[in-house]
């Protein structure tokens, strides 16, 4: 199913255009550039036949081998144990249906109108997904994943337990709340404790030899080949990937959402050594994918420079929140980000296997890290 098949009434009635992640152009860009995924969309109607809920669905092939952090041993044993008991297929992957956004952390996959019972609606959404899968045999879904929910939403989303979904937490989303008194990057630096301000200035000094180019609609295509190489270096080091992102999506995104999509490329002596990307959505900046040449990362403080550039963009655009996403939690906390817990819900299609899944998920915990507190006072 394509997003093109959804009636225009759905977008207007749900005010979907207020949030870029629910814009038809954004969803179309993701859909068109990821032919390896199957896309579906759920629209629930109220008694008056008006839309009350919209959900985005992607079907991915999940490989246990993509788990590369301290849960790698756990994933390996789950696979071996599950296959011995014939709980998991002998094939290399599990077919997982994801309700949410595969490529972005946060609540960007389900939109519910304000005037309906959200607890009841989330249950209806879960039921609709199950009914759809049960009516189309060729989908061959092994498991269902609904992601990502903040603690404030759990009173609603915990209703998914009624449909035998099991909650679990993974790496937190690292969030920087910007102080309303920061009108420049210098204001941000002055808000830091001496130790962290010295560290920031050292990183900025190391990165002075970097040449930074801001990508535009006219230049993005020429940048993509080198960006792809750098992205794959980072993706291979990622602790957990549901699916690789096709960087050709950037061309569509930059055309469809104007200046809200930011991409910067970093060079040393004419050679690209890094890039960063981010999306301005309402009053927030969401850091998206990055690419880094790890061989020179430390010498030129490439990754730290990216983090500070994200902060500059957020301040210059008078934003309130900067979502750095998952991974590298400790270094992100050193620039002021704090963890935001996100909960996912998982269930296996087979009831017996699903009971084992519940037990296994008790072993899944976010990787611990040292939280830094770099500010003299908490940002207002």
The pLDDT of residue 360 is: 75
Phi, psi at 141, each rounded to 5°: -75, 135
| CB-based contacts of 79, cutoff 8 Å, min separation 6 | 64, 88
pTM over 0.85: yes
Tell me the C-alpha distance between 290 and 374, whole Å.
24
| Residue in the structure block whose two tokens are 């041993």 | 73
- Which residue would you say has higher pLDDT here, 317 or 140? 317
Q: Which two tokens stand for residue 183?
A: 């009108």
Cα dihedral 126/132/134/137 (nearest 10): -140
Element (H, E) at 271: strand 271-281
Pure H helices in 136-219: 154-157, 185-191, 194-206
Q: What letter would DSSP give residue 136?
A: -
Q: Which two tokens stand for residue 359?
A: 């037990």
Each residue's pLDDT tens digit, 332-348: 999 999 999 999 999 98
Cα dihedral 352/358/361/362 (nearest 10): -130
Instruction: Confirm if 289 and 231 have CB atoms less than 8 A apart.
Output: yes
How many residues appear in the chain?
380
Q: Is the pLDDT of residue 91 over 60?
A: no
Mean pLDDT of the chain: 88
Give the other-Cβ count within 10 Å of 337's Cβ: 29
Instruction: Confirm if 323 and 286 have CB atoms less than 8 A apart.
Output: yes
Is the C-alpha dihedral spanning 258, 281, 8, 56 positive or negative? Answer: positive
Tell me the C-alpha distance between 378 and 380, whole Å.
6
Q: Which two tokens stand for residue 272?
A: 């690209």
**pLDDT class of 69 with cuts at 50, 70, 90:** very low
Tell me the C-alpha distance between 198 and 354, whole Å.
51
Q: Domains of the chain (ranges plus CATH)?
A: 3-172+341-361 (3.40.630.30), 174-339 (3.40.630.30)
Each residue's pLDDT tens digit, 94-123: 788 999 988 888 898 999 988 889 999 999
Rounded mean pLDDT, 132-161: 89
**pLDDT class of 133 with cuts at 50, 70, 90:** confident
Rounded mean pLDDT, 258-266: 90
Burial 47-79 (b: 16+ CB within 10 A, else e): eeeebbbbbbbbbbebebebbeeebeeebeebb
Tell me the C-alpha distance between 202 and 199, whole Å.
5
Would you call 132 exposed, middle or buried from its count of C-beta atoms within 10 A (0-12, 13-18, 19+)?
middle
Lowest average pLDDT, out of 6-20, 29-43, 296-310, goes to: 6-20
């Amino acid at each position: 199913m394509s997003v093109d098949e959804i009636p225009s009434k759905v977008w207007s009635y749900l005010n979907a255009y207020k949030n870029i992640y629910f814009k038809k152009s954004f969803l179309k860009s993701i859909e068109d550039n990821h032919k390896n995924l199957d896309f579906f969309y759920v629209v629930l109607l109220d008694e008056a036949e008006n839309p009350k809920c919209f959900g985005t669905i992607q079907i991915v092939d999940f490989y246990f081998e993509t788990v590369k952090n301290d849960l790698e041993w756990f994933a390996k044993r789950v696979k071996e144990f599950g296959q011995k008991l014939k709980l998991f297929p002998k094939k290399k992957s599990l077919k997982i249906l994801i309700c949410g956004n595969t490529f972005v952390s946060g609540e960007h996959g389900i939109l519910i109108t304000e005037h309906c019972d959200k607890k009841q609606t989330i249950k209806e959404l879960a039921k609709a997904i199950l009914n759809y899968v049960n009516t189309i045999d060729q989908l061959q879904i092994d498991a269902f994943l609904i992601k990502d929910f903040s603690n404030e939403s759990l009173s609603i989303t915990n209703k998914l337990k009624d449909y035998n979904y099991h909650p679990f937490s993974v790496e937190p989303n690292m969030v920087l709340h910007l102080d309303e008194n920061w009108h420049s990057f210098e204001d941000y630096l002055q808000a830091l404790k001496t130790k962290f301000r010295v560290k920031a200035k050292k990183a900025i000094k190391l990165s002075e030899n970097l040449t930074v180019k801001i990508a535009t609609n006219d230049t993005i295509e020429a940048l993509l080949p080198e960006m792809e190489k750098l992205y794959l270096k980072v993706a291979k080091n990622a602790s957990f990937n549901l699916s690789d992102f096709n960087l050709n999506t950037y061309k569509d995104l930059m055309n469809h959402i104007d200046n809200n999509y930011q991409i910067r490329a970093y060079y040393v002596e004419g050679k690209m050594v890094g890039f960063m990307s981010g999306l301005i959505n309402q009053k927030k900046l969401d850091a998206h994918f990055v690419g880094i040449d790890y061989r020179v990362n430390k010498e030129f403080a490439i990754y730290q420079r990216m983090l500070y550039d994200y902060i500059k963009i957020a301040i210059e655009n008078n934003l309130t929140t900067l979502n750095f996403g998952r991974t590298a939690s400790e270094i992100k906390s050193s620039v002021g980000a704090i963890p935001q817990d996100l909960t996912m819900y998982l269930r296996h299609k087979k009831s017996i296997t699903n009971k084992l899944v519940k037990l296994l998920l008790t072993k899944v915990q976010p990787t611990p890290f040292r939280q830094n507190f770099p500010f003299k006072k908490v940002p207002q």
